[in-house]
Structure 1
Amino acid sequence: MARSALTREEVLEAASALVRRHGPTGLTMRGLAAELGTAVTSIYWHVGNRERLLDALVERTVQEMGAVRPAGRTPAERIVSVARTLRREIRARPHLIAMVHERGLTERMFLPAQRALVDEVHAAGLRGARAADAVRAVQFQIVGFLLVERNRERSPAQSPGEGELWDPGAAPGDPALARALARPADPERLFLLSVRALTEALLAGPDR
């Protein structure tokens, strides 16, 4: 039996979940109706046709990504917190982010995070072009890291892999280095390491 009292937000949440799992091609009105236990006509009543539903999902994604808020005691800590949150939120919804990009709304989506970064570089004493460079450098680091990360995840199995290439004899002067490079990379740790180092360098005084 079809359910009643369905809300638009419930429809969008279920549609978002389907896109996250299967991509946009996996979102059909019949499949969404089955997921919600309702009639297809009810879906149309709440969100319109499939194209309007996709548009609503894009707008919802832009709003969700705009909810990023910095945390921490210092500007550097707050910048790192914004970067970490953006990476996590983008990784959680790659198909939805791709839909935002395809509709030319990427810059608008990142604007709230950019403004948060501007506040922090201002708090650290940066102004003008130097402040703008700092904001963009952090943003490019986030997006660039994500692209490399996704590429590594999607790449075919490597043979030989890092574990074979970096045997102890590969770096006779630094066996600890060889052992470390033979182990799988820890993306979360590397991301924080790189963002913290970049942020500290950007916020340092001109004499450094």
Structure 2
Amino acid sequence: MARSALSRDEVLDTAAALVREHGPAALTMRRLAAELGTAVTSIYWHVGNRESLLDALVSRTVTDLGTIRPRGTTPTERIVSVARSLRRALRERPHLVAMVHERGLTERMFLPAQRALAHEAHAAGLRGAHAARAVRALQFQVVGYVLVERNRERAPAQSPAEEELWREEAAGSDAELARALAAPIDTEALFVDSVRALVDGLLAGASGDTGDGAVGRGPYSL
């Protein structure tokens, strides 16, 4: 029996969950209706056709990434917190982020995070092109890191694996290095280390060179 009450938000929540787990191709109106225990006509009433539903999911994804807020007491802590939040948001929504990119809204999606980073760059004493380079460098660091993570996760099993290769080097001149590289990767800790190192380098020139204004272009689809 079809359910009697349904909200637009519930439809979008369920649709987003389907896309996150199975990709956009799995999102059909019939499957969505089955997940919600309602009639297909009810889905159309709340969100329109499938293209309208996809547009609504894209709009919601853009809005969600606008909720990132810095945390911490120093510019470095706050910048790292933005980077961590952005990485987590991208990791949780790969298919949705790809849909945003396909609709030409990537720059709009990243704008709130850029604004937050720019604010913290100003708080740290960076201005003009130097601040712009810092924002772009951090943005590329986050997106590039997520791309590498996803590629590693989707890669076929390697034989021998990295751990096995470095285990063979454990008797060399730097056994501690070999053991560390043979150990599983703590991707969160590695990410924080890399962002902190980048931030330290960027903020070290806060009162110095303002650069030539050369900045990169935005990131691409995950």
Q: Under a length normalisation based on structure 2, what TM-score does the superposition of the two structures give?
A: 0.90
Partner of 2:160: 160
Contact 1:168 1:175 in 2 (8 A): no
Deviations 1:50-90 (A, max 9, x none): 11100110001000011111000011100000000011111
* Partner SS for 1:166: helix
C-alpha spacing 1:22/1:169, structure 2 compared with 1 (3 Å):
closer
Could you tell me which residue of structure 1 aligns to residue 9 of structure 2?
Answer: 9
**Aligned residue in 2 for 1:67:** 67
What one-letter code is carried by the residue in structure 1 that aligns with 2:69?
A: R
How far 1:167 moved relative to its partner? 2.5
The answer to whether 1:138 aligns with 2:138 is yes
Pair 1:111 & 2:111 matched: yes
Counterpart residue type for residue 100 of structure 1: V
Contact 1:171 1:177 in 2 (8 A): no
Query: In terms of mean alpha carbon deviation, does 196-205 or 80-89 score higher?
Result: 196-205
RMSD over aligned Cα, in angstroms? 1.4
Structure 2 Cα separation of the partners of residues 122 and 164 of structure 1: 46
| Residue aligning to 1:93 | 93
C-alpha separation in 1, matches of 2:199 and 2:50: 42
Partner of 2:220: none
Query: Aligned residue for 1:125?
Result: 125
CA shift, 1:168, in A, is 5.0
Compute the displacement of 1:201 (Å): 1.1
Aligned equivalents of 1:179, 1:45: Cα separation in 2: 59
Flag as ranges the 4+ runs of structure 1 deviating above 6 A: none
Q: Is the 8 A contact 1:8 1:47 kept in 2?
A: yes
Q: Tell me, yes or no, if the aligned pair for 2:33 and 2:43 is still in contact at 8 Å.
A: yes
The secondary structure found in structure 1 opposite 2:9 is helix
> Counterpart of 2:169 in 1: which secondary structure?
helix
Q: Distance in 1 between matches of 2:171 and 2:131?
A: 40
Provide the secondary structure at the position in 1 that maps to 2:58: helix
Any gaps of 5 or more consecutive residues in structure 2? 210-222
Q: 1:90 to 1:53 in 2, by over 3 A?
A: same
How many residues were matched structurally? 208
Quick check: 1-10 or 110-119, which moved more? 1-10
Q: Cα 1:6–1:169, aligned 2, differ >3 Å: closer, same or farther?
A: closer
Query: Are the aligned partners of 2:66 and 2:109 in contact in 1 as well (CA < 8 Å)?
Result: yes
Residue 4 of structure 1: CA displacement?
1.8
* Larger RCO (alpha carbons 8 Å, 6+ apart): 2
Distance apart, 1:117 and its partner CA: 0.3
Residues of 1 paired with 2:132 and 2:171: CA distance?
Answer: 40
Structure 1 position 171, deviation (Å): 6.6
**CA distance in 1: counterparts of 2:177 and 2:184, whole angstroms:** 13
One-letter amino acid of the structure 2 residue matched with residue 47 of structure 1: V
For 1:65, the aligned partner's letter is L
Q: Can you list the C-alpha shifts for 1:11-49, whole angstroms capped at 9, x where unaligned?
A: 101100111111001111111111111110000001000
1:200 pairs with 2:196: no
- The answer as to whether partners of 2:170 and 2:179 remain within 8 angstroms in 1 is no
Distance 1:140 1:5, change over 3 A: same
Check if 1:186 corresponds to 2:176: no
